[in-house]
């Protein structure tokens, strides 16, 4: 029997962007040319999604270099993968602040088993984006940071939202990580295609950790209150 895990893994394996990109912007696809990442992420999905129960979708922006860029799992760095999910990882250890916050929310929700039984996290743009600075150092980039980039990738992003819903996601509520440009874009897409009955936006985990860390308990409570809408 094909499970939700099988469908997610197949989706990850099929991810590819062959369209044009503005000069200086590159695609980061953790599932191409790295069997270790595919193996690690597959173990995660087989642990938490080895069934056919529908989940509520949470959409972030696009994968970062130290979270999904290394593990293949959105908002899960290697520390959280091993310490919170109990999965083996033998590569370089990474620490992503967004992952720290998300897993504090997960713990408050009741733990990883309970959380992932109810939710599936991915991104509006399921592939990472990077740009090099003046010194040649690679940095994370957001799909909405450049109008030309957003326009070029628009069909790709819409197509992959539709594919993820088809995997087995509920469409009464979609949760959006990001109350600024990410929410604005998702609402624009939803107004056009009618994917979800309602969208609930929450401050992005990175924003909370970077600018509002002393108010973190309040944001965790806000997340939990929003997630209680599915019950």
Over 90: is that where the pLDDT of 135 sits? no
Number of domains observed in the structure of the chain:
1
Q: Which tokens sit at 19?
A: 């369209």
What residues have CB less than 8 Å from 173, skipping those under 6 apart? 56, 196, 197, 198, 199, 200, 229, 230
Using one digit for the tens of pLDDT, what is the confidence trace for 24-64? 899 989 888 677 888 999 999 999 999 999 999 999 999 88
Using one digit for the tens of pLDDT, what is the confidence trace for 146-183? 999 999 999 999 999 999 999 999 999 999 999 999 99
CATH code of the domain covering residue 70 = 3.40.470.10
- Give the domain range for residue 146: 4-230
Q: How far is CA 152 from CA 41, 125, 158, 162, 201, in A?
A: 28, 12, 12, 18, 25
Residue 176 φ then ψ, to 5°: -120, 125
Instruction: Identify the band that residue 136 occupies on the pLDDT scale cut at 50, 70 and 90.
Output: confident
């Amino acid at each position: 029997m094909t499970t939700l895990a099988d469908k997610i893994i197949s989706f990850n394996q099929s991810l590819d962007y062959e369209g044009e990109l503005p000069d200086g912007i590159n695609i980061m696809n953790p599932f191409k040319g790295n069997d270790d990442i595919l193996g690690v992420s597959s173990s995660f999905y087989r642990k938490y999604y080895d069934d056919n129960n529908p989940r509520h979708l949470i959409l972030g922006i696009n994968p970062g270099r130290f979270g999904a860029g290394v593990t293949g799992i959105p908002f899960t760095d290697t520390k959280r993968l091993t310490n919170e999910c109990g999965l083996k990882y033998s590569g370089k250890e990474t620490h992503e602040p967004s992952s720290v916050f998300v897993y504090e929310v997960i713990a408050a929700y009741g733990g990883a088993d309970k959380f992932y039984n109810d939710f599936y996290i991915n991104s509006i743009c399921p592939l990472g984006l990077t740009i090099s600075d003046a010194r040649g150092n690679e940095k994370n980039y957001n799909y909405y940071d450049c109008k030309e980039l957003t326009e070029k990738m628009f069909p790709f992003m819409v197509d992959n939202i539709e594919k993820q819903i088809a995997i087995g996601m509920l469409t009464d509520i979609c949760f959006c990580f990001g109350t600024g440009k990410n929410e604005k874009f998702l609402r624009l897409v939803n107004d056009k295609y009618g994917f979800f009955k309602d969208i609930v936006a929450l401050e992005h985990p990175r924003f909370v950790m970077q600018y509002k860390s002393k108010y973190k308990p309040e944001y965790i409570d806000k997340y939990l209150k929003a997630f209680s809408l599915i019950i």
